[in-house]
Amino acid sequence: LLQRAESLCAAAHECARRGWVPATSGNFSFRSSVEDGGRIFITASGLDKGAISPGDLLEIDLSCRVLAGPGPLDNLDKVKPSAETKLHGVIYRDRPDARAIFHVHSIWNTLISDRFADDGAVVLEEYEMLKALSWVATHEHRELVTVLENSQDYAALSLLLTETLLENPTAHGVLLRRHGLYTWGESIAGARRHLEALEFLFEVESRRLGYES
């Protein structure tokens, strides 16, 4: 578990270096195997993701109750999981293969989420980089990244996300408008690969459309 916690923190540090989690934004989690209890380990709210260490992860169950925090147990009432922890719970419930989830706020995912919000989705196709997404074997693949309207009502967002995951069983990520990207993978390395691929594609596609307009 410690090794995976360190791997998650290393991924978070790299995202910080790239400017994808400014101002303490973003959150990162992984799920332990069924033999290890199937628990979720997630970054606590309000921390600089460029400086987190395994001791800053909260242990929660699928219904998002905090089981343990970085400090001693009687401090648990002061440890606050991010409001967005609920969305991690939804993804782990509805994507049984997902073992890690990354949520970041980049310049390009914010821009493209706004540009295509009225269409309901960003369409990515004909790029070799699509092959970095699990099960995709050709650049002729068509990836649909749904854009949900942003909201502070996380219960409502959870329902929207549930529907979206149901309707798009092969999707690798979901965007919140002017907010950010959720992506997941079958391992921490897999989630990181999906994140890097999608962020690359968001930037290329945004710049390409900039030429044309």
Which residues here bind its own copies, judged by CB under 8 A? 18-19, 22-25, 48, 105, 107, 110-111, 114-115, 126-129, 132, 137-140, 150, 152, 176, 178-180, 189, 192-194, 196-197, 199-200, 203-204, 207-211, 213
Q: Give whichever of 36 and 209 is closer to its own copies, judged by the CB atom.
A: 209
Rounded distance, CA 136 to CA 133, Å? 6
Closest distance of CB 38 from its own copies, Å: 27
Locus of tokens 């269409």? 119
- Exposure of 180 by Cβ count < 10 A (0-12 exposed, 13-18 middle, 19+ buried)? buried
Please, what is the minimum distance in Å from the beta carbon of residue 212 to its own copies?
9
CA-closest candidate to residue 39, choices 92, 82, 94, 77: 92
Q: How far is the CB of 101 from its own copies (least distance, A)?
A: 17
Least Å distance between CB 61 and its own copies? 26
- By beta-carbon proximity to its own copies, the closer residue of 94 and 114 is 114
Cross-strand bridge partners of residue 144: 123
Radius of gyration of the chain (CA): 17
Structural contact between residues 42 and 27, judged by C-beta atoms closer than 8 angstroms: yes
Closest CB to its own copies among residues 127, 184 = 127
Identity of the residue, 150 or 162, whose beta carbon is nearer to its own copies in the bound complex? 150
To the nearest whole angstrom, how small is the minimum distance from the Cβ of residue 131 to its own copies?
A: 8
Nearer to its own copies, 59 or 154 (CB): 154
Number of other CB atoms surrounding residue 1 within 10 Å: 15
For residue 23, the minimal CB distance to its own copies (Å) is: 4
Question: CB count, 10 Å around CB of 45?
Answer: 15
CB nearer to its own copies: give 38 or 189: 189
d(C-alpha 149, C-alpha 16), whole Å: 25
